[in-house]
Structure 1
Amino acid sequence: MAKIKRIITTLVRLLVLGAALSATIVMVTSHDSAEVLNLSFDAKYTNARAFVYFAITNAIASGYGFIALFLSFSTPLWRLVFLLDVFMTLLLTSSISAALAIADVGKKGNSHAGWLPVCGQVPEFCDHVTGALIAGFSAATQRPPTLQIRCSNSSPDTPSITEKLEHEASMTGAAYDFNRATTSLTRKLLSSPKKVTLVRHGLSSWNQESRIQGSSNLSVLTETGVRQAERCREALANIYFDQCFSSPICRAKSTAEVIWQGREGPLVFLDSLEEAHLFFLEGMKNVDARREYPKEYITWREDPANFNVNGVYPLQKIWATASEAWREILYTPGEHFLVITHKSILRALICTALGLSPERFRAIDVNNGGITVFKFNTRGEAMLQSLNMTAHMYSNHIYLN
């Protein structure tokens, strides 16, 4: 859906560019001469300031339209294009209004002011002006569609309801200040506030087979998982990210490669984003693990903070690596990052950002393809903005920022 919208936007911009350029050329080439009462005069666009203004504004609109064609849809600059589109529309409308007023006098005259019509004497000039006005009007009325958020119900077959959300914070009551809301994850001030979007990998082969995955690299992305990753890519298409971080484990790596496809920023694989190591449970079907290792399995499921193998506690270790991952991400230059990884490490990332202990590990769930968003102030303190968003899994939902 996002790709179709980009194509439509590009086509409309090409039409606007062509119309504005045509209006400029036709207006500046308008010229005719006539002789009245043995007096000759030339009719050209420079005789009327309104026509000059019309030509200049359409030339500006042509230049702007040409530049806008080359702006990437994933850059922050694209968000300013909406305002510039409105400005150009107003500029073109004002120039058309001014030129149309003069053209009307030229065609009909004004008996109250004693002005005679001139189009009968210089018809070629008037025809050019008329053509320029038509092209200019076409350029002013063909405004490209703006970026929108699609909100719909859970059925992919039901038409979605589209509404544009501008000024997000003021319209939805979002928080501006969250100083000291959580404990800082960094040991020093950040150069700027940060935003981090977390995504869980798509459905894997071991997800499908109900096997315990852990840090194993044998579980791969399924066809369904690839489609989920593609849906994530479409849902995030209008958001600019400075960089993408991913777990190097194949199911997350494959998801990251699908989502990051077509982007220019670097895709970096961090060992600190690897999934928790679950020793001998990895690769076992849940039903088999429960039967063969009942004590360990039940502890992992019901009291994961106390699950250990030979004194090694996976959750304590993953809490430490989550903190390390946060520092690696937040110290990176840039303001908005995409992170693609696994369920347990995602839970650890979320909990450590919110100051929750390993005992709260199962208080949070993250679905395949689920999207979670954090904001960080310069102190490195986190605010959870969105948790486990999955609307894009069931509909053509596009996130704006």
Structure 2
Amino acid sequence: MEKNGSTKIDIPETSRERKGKAPLLGGSGPGPGPAEYAKGAGYKKGIAIFDLILRISAAAAALAATATMGTTEQTLPFFTQFFQFQASYDDLPTFTFFVIAMALVSGYLVLSIPFSIVCIARPHALAPRLLLIIFDTLAVTLATSAAGASTAIVYLAHEGNSGANWLAVCQQFTDFCQKTSTAVVAGFSTVVLLIFLVVLSACALRKHY
């Protein structure tokens, strides 16, 4: 088209240019939309709520294991002039380690509850979830070693070992053996709950929005 001695050529906009401008005009770049973000937040919040429930249950189990083993003591009604038949958890280093380890685990679980609440309030927060999965894994290791070692001692107390001339003391110290067995069961319950906590944290970290 000619006007005032100049020539202007209209070049139609190509489809490639229109495609390139669409994200800028529409504001829809790559990434999740509001619906997907809300869905991801709901998914993580549900996991965080279940995590809190399991964490409180694990803390209760660990406290029960610590209290049960830490108060285990029995004195037989018969005794001699120079010797009294008594059994206590601190007579065996393994049971002492069990009490210390489970006390540490229960203390950690109680202190970790606020972090679990933070994960409920902020489902997409990454740092609290990473801290929980790291320390939960350490707690699983500590609780498993304590419960496993104590299980071996409880088994020997119930069954004895004829090859090593170890007597089955549970025939006399029935209450002592019953309480130590209960404590070990509570310890393994703590281990199972901690494993579930680690799995939940892994699931929460796997799905990002």
**Structure 1 length-normalised TM:** 0.37
Aligned partner of 2:90 in structure 1 is 46
Matching residue within 89, 95, 105 for 2:140: 89
For residue 75 of structure 1, report the CA deviation from its aligned partner.
6.1
Aligned partner of 2:158 in structure 1 is 107
Matching residue within 31, 34, 45 for 1:3: 45
For residue 35 of structure 1, report the CA deviation from its aligned partner.
5.7
Q: 1-side partners of 2:48 and 2:134: how far apart?
A: 18
Look up the SS of the partner of 2:87 in the other structure.
strand
Q: 1-side partners of 2:203 and 2:179: how far apart?
A: 39
Instruction: For 1:315-334, list aligned pairs within 5 A.
Output: none
CA deviations over 1:156-189 (Å, ceiling 9, x no partner): xxxxxxxx65xxxxxxxxxxxxxxxxxxxxxxxx
Q: Which runs of 5+ in 1 are unaligned?
A: 150-163, 166-397
1:146 aligns with 2:197: no
Q: 2-side partners of 1:399 and 1:97: how far apart?
A: 37
Q: 2:61, 2:190 within 8 Å by CA — same for their partners in 1? A: yes
Aligned partner of 1:60 in structure 2 is 104
Q: 2:79, 2:85 within 8 Å by CA — same for their partners in 1? A: no
Aligned partner of 2:64 in structure 1 is 22
For residue 94 of structure 1, report the CA deviation from its aligned partner.
0.6
Q: Which runs of 5+ in 2 are unaligned?
A: 1-42, 120-124
1:399 aligns with 2:208: yes
| Count of residue correspondences | 154
Quick one: structure 1 residues 36 and 110, their matched pair in 2 at CA, closer, same or farther if it must change by over 3 Å?
Answer: farther
Quick one: structure 1 residues 110 and 36, their matched pair in 2 at CA, closer, same or farther if it must change by over 3 Å?
Answer: farther
Aligned partner of 2:35 in structure 1 is none
Look up the SS of the partner of 1:84 in the other structure.
helix
Which structure has more relative contact order (CA 8 Å, sep 6+)? It is 2
For residue 21 of structure 1, report the CA deviation from its aligned partner.
0.4
Q: 1-side partners of 2:53 and 2:157: how far apart?
A: 35
Quick one: structure 1 residues 37 and 30, their matched pair in 2 at CA, closer, same or farther if it must change by over 3 Å?
Answer: closer
Look up the SS of the partner of 2:84 in the other structure.
strand
Q: 2-side partners of 1:85 and 1:10: how far apart?
A: 13
Matching residue within 128, 138, 149 for 2:179: 128
Q: Could you say which structure has the higher helix fraction?
A: 2
For residue 100 of structure 1, report the CA deviation from its aligned partner.
0.9
For residue 78 of structure 1, report the CA deviation from its aligned partner.
2.9
Instruction: For 1:182-197, list aligned pairs within 5 A.
Output: none
Q: 2-side partners of 1:33 and 1:95: how far apart?
A: 25
Q: Could you say which structure has the higher strand fraction?
A: 1
CA deviations over 1:337-395 (Å, ceiling 9, x no partner): xxxxxxxxxxxxxxxxxxxxxxxxxxxxxxxxxxxxxxxxxxxxxxxxxxxxxxxxxxx
1:34 aligns with 2:58: no
Look up the SS of the partner of 1:32 in the other structure.
strand
Q: 2-side partners of 1:78 and 1:56: how far apart?
A: 26
Amino acid at match of 1:50: T
Amino acid at match of 1:12: L
CA deviations over 1:65-92 (Å, ceiling 9, x no partner): 0011001223624312111111111111
Identity %: 29
Q: 2-side partners of 1:36 and 1:45: how far apart?
A: 20
Q: 2:72, 2:88 within 8 Å by CA — same for their partners in 1? A: yes
Return structure 1 stretches of 4+ with deviation > 6 angstroms.
none
For residue 37 of structure 1, report the CA deviation from its aligned partner.
7.2
CA deviations over 1:26-83 (Å, ceiling 9, x no partner): 0001110126673422111001010011111110011110011001223624312111
For residue 148 of structure 1, report the CA deviation from its aligned partner.
3.0
Aligned partner of 2:188 in structure 1 is 137
